[in-house]
Amino acid sequence: MILKRLFFFAVMSLSTCCTAVKMDSTGKTFRKGKDFLLVQFDCKTDVDDLQTVAALATLISDSHYSSINYHAVAGTYGMQEGLYVPPNDLFQLAFGDNWTDAHKNRNAAVEKVKSLVIKTLQQDGDLWIADAGQSDFSAELVLAIQKDFPEIETSKRVHVVQHAEWNEEVTTPEKLDFVKRNTDYIKIPDGNAVGNGTPGFRTPEFTNWDDKITNPELKELWQLAIDLSNKFNGQDGRYNNEAIAAGGLDFSDLSEVCWILGNGNIKDTEHFFSLYAQ
């Protein structure tokens, strides 16, 4: 598992550990070692999720975040059309066994993730979901929690963060409505743009990523993410991500994770790499 190995390369930086923590609509903040971070990737049909996986692994490898309880889920798509982008090799390299394949078996994935997050919820921790895609899986997970553990007040204990209007538009409407009514649903500014209050991580002109990363394991991870992005971008009717087609980067979905962890003051891709790529 690349994140465990990367811990030994991580160096604490005052510029990263002194970031102001962001509060959500309930006045709560993410508590390292107490709360649970769930990052869900639709992987359909935009390849930006692949680069977000690499960026998430880069962020979590920093020693400031070594105590975070987290899990990644692939295939949490909604009702959008188009082909899936197979991410399994990348997820395995990035997260080892700390991820779940919802594309392979949705119902089994819900049950597995529920068993992981319920431990936190039963110990007075909160669940924070970064919906790097649609909210269908979030709805199914919350419903499963409510059925088995009705004493848990999900509207206060489960926080769902979304950054993209398009993701909302292709979430099954009744499931989006369910999430908004049954969780602390937080809509933040879009991570595709710079200067709107959250980091902007879609950068067509950022082509020199390999000059920024010095850790060989991170470099291997990013290279795989970029190779897969180039292989599937715009292919067989999939969405053509113009930033990636130009040789740049797009890991815009990481804006949600940055918001949850209190790193909303990161400006853009260049700033992110200056903080975490060493």
Task: Collect contacts of 88-92 with beta carbons under 8 A, ≥24 apart.
Answer: 89/224, 89/228, 90/50, 90/53, 90/54, 90/221, 90/224, 90/225, 90/228, 91/53
Angle, to 10 degrees, between the axis of helix 48-60 and the axis of helix 88-95? 10
Per-residue pLDDT, 66: 85
Give the tens place of pLDDT for each residue, 45-88: 999 999 999 999 999 999 999 899 999 999 999 999 999 999 99
Give the tens place of pLDDT for each residue, 247-268: 999 999 999 999 999 998 999 9
Q: Using CA atoms, how far apart are residues 101 and 43, in angstroms rounded to an integer? A: 11
Average pLDDT, the chain: 92
Question: Which residues of the chain are under the pLDDT cut of 50?
Answer: 4-22
- The H or E element that residue 90 is part of is helix 88-95
- How many structural domains does the chain have? 1
Per-residue pLDDT, 13: 36
User: Domain residues for 135?
Assistant: 2-276
Indicate which CATH number applies to the domain containing 138. 3.90.245
Give the tens place of pLDDT for each residue, 165-179: 999 999 999 999 999
